Amino acid sequence: MSVSTKNPPLAATAKDDSQVRQKQMIAAHYARLARASESGEKNVYTFVPGNLTELLRSFDLLPVLPEINALQSGMRGKSAEYIALAEKLGHSEDVCTYVKCDIGMLKSGNVGPTGERLPSPDLLLLSYTGCFTFMKWFELLKQEYQCPVVMLHVPYQAEGRITDSMRAYVTAQIRQKLIPALEQVAGRKYDEDRLKECLARSAQAEEDLVWVLQSAKNRPSPIDAWFGAVYYVGPIFSAFRGTPEAVEYYRALRVEIQERLTKKLGPVTPDGMMTEEKYRLVIEGPPNWTSFREFWRMFAEEGAVAVASTYTKVGGMYDFGFRHDPERPLETMAEYCMGCYTNLDLSTRVGILTRYMQEYEADGLLVNSVKSCNSFSAGQLAMLREVESRTGRPVGFIESDLVDPRYFSASNIKNRLESFLQMIAQKRGGAA
């Protein structure tokens, strides 16, 4: 049976205010980093999962996140040349493309995504070790920079929970290894009251973010919780958690989405506002960044909206209740390090996906398997089949990469997506 899934033409509209603000915030942060040698501000290279931004900010240290640099380079068309250079230097095609993009950028003068040179790190901080690639990545950076390194050992949630001993183990590392290193770099003593202030601001921003993400339970969803939400999580996953700017951003974002709810508007897409929601999807895995808008258009043209996604939880499982607790500053940061999505066992991830399917009344689950990201890709097919068994709803599978344009095949992805949506439509027809 042939099923037409084309959505009516998308109404033209301006870019979301929240997208504009987010871009301005990120650009301002890169500009501040570019001036660090003049201002004397110190910085710490770290990663998104399990990052301890509040602690860094309490020392007036600026976060630099290499995978954010890589994805920004991918979106701006720079990643192909960086990856080619890294491979010319001996890095395998199978290595995470974030790593190769970052190494290529470094070897090209360490010019960041906005065209300004990034400062060398004053400290390398690895506060999440659930991704083995992160450890190898920092080994490479350690070879390039003459600076101290702190690596916290963060236990994997093999049984789906954080035990008291795990919490105490990570807390002790923060207190005994990390804080002394930060004091040395910053030239000032640890101020727990200041950290508590940062954590309180984080909790406030996290509360508003969760409200925004859960607004997708409405029909129509006012947001796209995969493509659109990567803009929403940008400030809180990168350099701004714990800052007044983050609180202001998420307060304004909530007001913006509430207005869309009140007017019963769908999400804003690259080509304007979606006028009809036809398919509600849960999506597992990261998106592709090199063809991000083309990728998004494939979904928008079909009236397919992501109502929940796992990628937007890689920097924190806030919608399952976690909030930074200023009354337990070091313990709450230890819990955060262990609580990101890719530190959860597969059975827990299946439970999360199943819950999303049910609570958001999704029509199907779609997996985007990323060639070079083992943290996400390992076990995805098994997870997909288990969710299908538990929910009885259609599942689909597409493949791309993070920032390597060689592994983005628009025709293959479009064909698979259309077939998946036809399967959903046929199942509806059978049910009727």
Domain total for the chain?
1
Residues 6+ apart with CB under 8 A from 374: 96, 131, 132, 133
Per the listing, tokens 């607790």 go with: 325
Write phi, then psi, for 283 (nearest 5 degrees): -125, 130
DSSP 8-state assignment for residue 264:
T
Residue 180 domain flag: yes
The pLDDT value recorded for residue 130 is: 77
Structure tokens at 164: 């008291």
Structure tokens at 115: 């065209």
Structure tokens at 348: 């827990």
> Using CA atoms, how far apart are residues 191 and 143, in angstroms rounded to an integer?
32
> Using CA atoms, how far apart are residues 185 and 294, in angstroms rounded to an integer?
43
* Per-residue model confidence as pLDDT tens for the chain (432 residues): 333 344 444 444 347 888 889 999 999 999 999 999 999 999 999 999 999 999 999 999 999 999 999 999 999 999 999 999 999 999 988 889 999 999 999 999 999 888 999 999 999 999 987 788 888 999 999 999 989 999 999 999 988 899 999 999 999 999 999 999 999 999 999 999 999 999 999 999 999 999 999 999 999 999 999 999 999 999 999 899 999 999 999 999 999 999 999 999 999 999 999 999 999 999 999 999 999 999 999 999 999 999 999 999 998 999 999 999 999 999 999 999 999 899 999 999 999 999 999 999 999 999 999 978 888 888 899 999 999 999 999 999 999 999 999 999 999 999 999 999 999 999 987 765
Residues 6+ apart with CB under 8 A from 238: 26, 29, 48, 63, 65, 68
- Distances from the Cα of 270 to the Cα of 274, 299, 398, angstroms: 10, 11, 21
DSSP string, 340-402: SGGGB-HHHHHHHHHHHHHHTT-SEEEEEEETT-HHHHTTHHHHHHHHHHHH---EEEEEE-S
- Distances from the Cα of 362 to the Cα of 56, 235, 283, 358, 406, angstroms: 39, 27, 10, 7, 31
Structure tokens at 376: 């996400």
Residue 2 domain flag: no
Cα torsion 336, 337, 340, 346: sign? negative
Residue 42 domain flag: yes
Q: Return the CA Rg of the chain.
A: 21
Closest C-alpha among 347, 343, 401, 391 to residue 365 = 391
Q: Could you give the 3-state DSSP secondary structure of residue 66? A: helix
User: Looking at this protein, which amino acid is placed at residue 118?
Assistant: L
Write phi, then psi, for 291 (nearest 5 degrees): -130, 45
> Using CA atoms, how far apart are residues 319 and 214, in angstroms rounded to an integer?
8
Residue 265 domain flag: yes
| DSSP strand pairing (364-370 vs 304-309) | unpaired
Write phi, then psi, for 343 (nearest 5 degrees): -100, 5
Number of neighbours of residue 297 by Cβ within 10 angstroms: 18
Residue 4 domain flag: no
Residue 70 domain flag: yes
The pLDDT value recorded for residue 132 is: 84
Residue 8 domain flag: no
Write phi, then psi, for 381 (nearest 5 degrees): -65, -40
Range of the domain at 400: 17-431
The answer to whether the beta carbons of residues 354 and 390 sit under 8 Å apart is yes
Q: Reply yes or no: is the peptide bond before residue 220 cis, omega within 30 of 0.
A: yes
Residue 6 domain flag: no
The pLDDT value recorded for residue 184 is: 98
